[in-house]
Amino acid sequence: METTAYVRVGTTYYKLVKSPSISGHFNEQLVSWNEHTIKQDHGKDFLSTVPKYDGFTCIPNHLQFKKEHHGFYNIYSPLEHSPLEGQIGTTKKFLEHIFGKQIELGLDYLQLLYTRPTQILPILCLVSKERSTGKSSFLKWLKEVFGNNLTYLTNDSFGSQFNSDWANRLLICIDEVLFNKEELTERIKYLSTTNRNMLEAKGKDKREVEFFGKFILCSNNEYNFIKIDGNETRFWVRKIFPIKKEETDFLDRLIVEIPAFLHFLNTRKLHSEQATRMWFTPKQLHTTALKLLVQHNRNRVEKELASILLSAMDKFELESIDICPMDALNLLSKTRVKTDMTQLRRLLKKDWKLENQKNSNSYQRIVIWNNGEINMQDAKGRYFTIEKKFLNQNFDETMME
Give residue 53's pLDDT band: very low, low, confident or very high (50, 70, 90).
very high
Give residue 221's pLDDT band: very low, low, confident or very high (50, 70, 90).
confident
Check residue 4 and give its pLDDT: 59
Mean pLDDT within 22-48:
84
Burial of 196 (0-12, 13-18, 19+ CB in 10 A): exposed
Mean pLDDT within 249-278:
94
Spatial separation of the C-alpha atoms in residues 139 and 147, rounded to whole Å = 11
Range 364-371, long-range pairs (CB < 8 A, 24+ positions): 364/322, 365/322, 365/323, 365/324, 365/327, 366/308, 366/309, 366/312, 366/321, 366/323, 366/327, 366/331, 367/327, 367/330, 367/331, 368/308, 368/330, 368/331, 368/334
Spatial separation of the C-alpha atoms in residues 165 and 156, rounded to whole Å = 14
Mean pLDDT within 277-282:
94
Q: What beta strand segments (E) does 10-90 contain?
A: 12-20, 26-32, 52-53, 55-57, 68-69, 72-74
Q: In what order do the strands lie in the sheet with 72-74?
A: 55-57, 72-74, 68-69
Query: Which strand (E) or helix (H) includes residue 197?
Result: strand 196-199
Q: What are phi and psi of 114, to 5 degrees?
A: -80, -45
In angstroms, the Cα distances linking 309 to 35, 317, 393 are 75, 12, 14
Burial of 67 (0-12, 13-18, 19+ CB in 10 A): middle
pLDDT digits 0-9 by tens, 198-220 = 777 776 767 778 889 999 999 98
Show the DSSP H helices in 43-171 as ranges. 89-99, 103-115, 135-146, 155-159
Residues facing residue 9 across a β-bridge: 12, 53
Give residue 295's pLDDT band: very low, low, confident or very high (50, 70, 90).
confident
pLDDT digits 0-9 by tens, 347-380 = 898 888 899 999 999 999 999 888 888 999 999 9
Spatial separation of the C-alpha atoms in residues 262 and 273, rounded to whole Å = 20
Cα dihedral across residues 290, 293, 299, 302: positive or negative: positive
Check residue 1 and give its pLDDT: 33
